[in-house]
């Protein structure tokens, strides 16, 4: 566990934080018997890192004020660059300013954060100038509890739909999956955007105890309209997990736009929250782990699953 220490903020801001803490404590005492609340955020990142942080901070503060104990931000929450060079130049390490500021925010608000796609400088940055796409979990003490690097990179050419992205040209694929993270809303399994298309990942996280899967994303408009909701609901149905998917929305710069529709889906596949396709916002959802247990008990899919040899026997024929 990595602890990052920093001191930020004006006296006015610190005073507003204290007021917010008082509100949170009152809200928590009134809702102690209810399932925990998670907040799924939708933002429009640009190449302006300072403006992006201000926008995300407002959403986190709003979510915390409304009682959320864990807040999910999308892929590219730090920025979305307008070129390969700009994207690389603005990247940072985990010890840099951006993660320091979010660590402080989590500590100030006493809230857990899922930072869903940070441009982290890679292990040989000085040599090759390549980055990881990293999903970071920060606890309510401001400590980094998990860092997952995106495994599946978005290299897609869809000329008829105006989509052309090659993430592997500047991004290093993550070396491995990580076990689900113990959080106030349950065990959270981590993915990022394009990982959503690979059910092997979600099933692996399920086998290791996930109650919640999360796919912070910046889906293109074309692929989002066609596949976003159906994929998220499919992952929820096949794993009988909650699925939380923060999203980018709208126009980031002249070359890129995102689909939006940050979603929260329950273990039955029902959409509990949708931020729409137009504006930044936040959706709050109760994460009732009893619903996970009931769904799995009433339809025990995992008990009906055959052993791995059964599913691989075609490969041997």
161 counts as catalytic: no
Catalytic, out of 56, 69, 120, 150: 150
Residue 56 CA from chain centroid, whole number:
13
179-185-189 Cα angle (round to 5): 25
Handedness of CA 183, 150, 8, 39 (dihedral sign): negative
Please say if 241 is a catalytic residue: no
Per annotation, catalytic residue among 75, 100, 120, 241 = 75
Nearest to 108 by CA among 8, 36, 27: 8
Number of C-beta neighbours around residue 181 at 10 A = 20
Cα distance between residue 300 and residue 40, in whole Å: 28
Q: Which of 41, 69, 100, 193 is catalytic?
A: 193
150 is catalytic: yes
Nearest by Cα to 92 from 34, 53, 36: 53
Three-class SS state of 209: coil
Catalytic residues: 75, 150, 193
């Amino acid at each position: 566990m990595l602890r990052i220490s920093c001191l930020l903020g004006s006296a006015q801001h610190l005073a507003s934080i204290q007021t917010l803490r008082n509100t949170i404590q009152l809200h928590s005492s009134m809702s102690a018997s209810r399932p925990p609340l998670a907040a799924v955020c939708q933002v429009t990142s640009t190449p302006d890192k300072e403006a992006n942080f201000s926008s995300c901070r407002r959403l986190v503060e709003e979510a915390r004020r409304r009682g959320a104990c864990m807040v999910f931000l999308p892929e590219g929450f730090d920025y979305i660059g307008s070129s390969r060079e700009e994207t690389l130049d603005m990247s940072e390490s985990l010890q840099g300013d951006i993660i320091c500021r979010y660590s402080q925010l989590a500590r100030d608000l006493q809230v857990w954060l899922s930072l869903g796609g940070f441009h982290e400088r890679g292990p040989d940055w000085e040599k090759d100038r390549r980055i990881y796409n990293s999903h970071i979990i920060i606890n309510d003490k401001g400590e980094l509890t998990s860092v997952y690097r995106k495994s599946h990179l978005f290299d897609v050419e869809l000329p008829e739909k105006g989509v052309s992205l090659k993430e592997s040209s500047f991004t290093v694929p993550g070396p491995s999956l990580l076990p689900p993270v113990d959080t106030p809303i349950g065990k959270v399994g981590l993915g990022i955007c394009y990982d959503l298309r690979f059910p092997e990942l979600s099933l692996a996280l399920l086998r290791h105890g996930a109650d919640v899967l999360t796919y912070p994303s910046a889906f293109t408009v074309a692929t989002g309209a066609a596949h976003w909701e159906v994929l998220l609901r499919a992952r929820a149905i096949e794993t009988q997990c909650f699925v939380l998917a923060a999203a980018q929305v709208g126009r980031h710069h002249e070359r890129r736009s995102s689909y939006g529709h940050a979603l929260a889906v329950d273990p039955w596949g029902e959409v509990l929250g949708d931020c729409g396709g137009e504006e930044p916002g936040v959706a709050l959802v109760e994460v009732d782990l009893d619903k996970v247990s009931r769904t799995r008990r009433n339809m025990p899919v995992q008990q009906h699953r055959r052993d791995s040899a059964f599913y691989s026997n075609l490969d041997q024929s």
